[in-house]
Amino acid sequence: MRIIAISVYEVDLPYVDECYSWSGGNSVAVAQTTVVRIETDNDVYGVGEVCPLPGYLPAYGAGVRPGIAEIGPKLMGVDPTCIGHINRLMDVTLKGHAYVKSPIDIACWDILGKVAGLPVHALLGGRQMDRMPMYRVVNIDTPEIMVETVQRYRDQGYRHFQMKVGGDAGEDIERIRAVVGSKHTNEIVFADANTGWRRDDALRVAAATRDLYYYIEQPCELFEDCRSVAPRASQPIKLDEILQSTAAILRAHQDDCMDAASIKIGRFGGLSKARFARDLCGEMGVPVNVEDTWGSDVVTAACAHLAVSTPPELLLNTTDLNNYVTVSVADGAPVVDDGYLKIGDAPGLGVKLKEDVLGEPVAVFS
């Protein structure tokens, strides 16, 4: 089997509400996703997707296509089921830019699953559960509106809530006290600063909410600041943005400043390296949530396959990114059931692209 063509599609994904907002005054109403379709010489194809969130990480939607233009020609004639070799070729051809490589890696896993007649989760460790807990994002706002948003999602069956903070420390204390104070016994709250606090602000918030149990997520931008906050906070620390490699995971564990980890597929460069990061966390007893920065049905499927193959005692949650946007790019995506995500056992990712939504490819490499 050989790769004969890589088609690239670009689709705008409007957010379901007015805008998605987080620390530093950042917000987005529409994000650009990139969908990749890899064709082979025996009529089996695979699909992948990546959608960098604008202003979030050193990655941007418009950068995916030129990145694939560098990588794509090098992959022609290569067996897509030799995924380790595919990743080596991508890394040799283009240093860094993991997000560019993610949809290609995902598409190769889709092909491998189809050839094997197995769902991708069977290849990533096997199904570990029937359904996966999900979290829902609560945009940064007034304490009253955030509490109302939590209740709205609670009514939909969600029990995990990621509240956005990272603004003024005094206001964030009020937000946290309101939201965490309203949570039910079986619920989990993550106060996600998205790197938005200075070290002193993070310590102020942690001290002022010491009597409350919740996760502080990615309090500061620098690893050294997060490491300083961790031993002085009574709350568990979940790291996200600074975990961009397995080396970062090892460092955080060695320095004892990580109680939970966020594994974003696009940030690591696809399912292959995200699986390795997940398994490394598992060996260290660090629970993970499995997700990506943004996206639609293909990304959601990739996250679900990785999440459902994670031991349940190590999986915090995952998310249904396709329900955060108003455009669907594929059929067959995982389904939401009372705050949980369910996925089937169709070969590969189990999704079929919607050609009418994708339109014509913006680039084809053959």
**Is residue 264 among the annotated active site residues?**
yes
- Strand, helix or coil at 110? helix
Residue environment code for 115-151, b if the CB has 16+ CB neighbours within 10 A, otherwise e:
beebbbbbbbbeebeebbbbbbbbbbeebeebbebbe
- Catalytic member of 101, 164, 183, 238: 164
Residue environment code for 180-202, b if the CB has 16+ CB neighbours within 10 A, otherwise e:
bebbeeeebbbbbbbbbbebebb
Q: How many CA atoms lie within 13 A of 229 on its CB side?
A: 32
Instruction: Assess contact for 334 and 341: CB atoms under 8 A.
Output: yes
| 170 CB-near residues (< 8 Å, 6+ apart) | none
- Catalytic member of 101, 183, 238, 264: 264
- Tell me how far CA of residue 87 lies from CA of 6, 62, 81, 120, in angstroms: 15, 22, 11, 17
Strand partners for 48: 36
- Strand, helix or coil at 178? helix
Q: How many CA atoms lie within 13 A of 99 on its CB side?
A: 25
**347 is written with which tokens?**
């070969």
**Is residue 342 among the annotated active site residues?**
no
**218 is written with which tokens?**
């990615």
- Tell me how far CA of residue 251 lies from CA of 254, 292, 362, in angstroms: 5, 22, 40
Closest CA to 213 of 242, 184, 240: 184
Q: What is the DSSP string of 182-195?
A: H--TT-EEEEE-TT
| DSSP element (H, E) containing 52 | none
Closest CA to 322 of 274, 348, 357, 347: 357
Active site residues: 164, 264
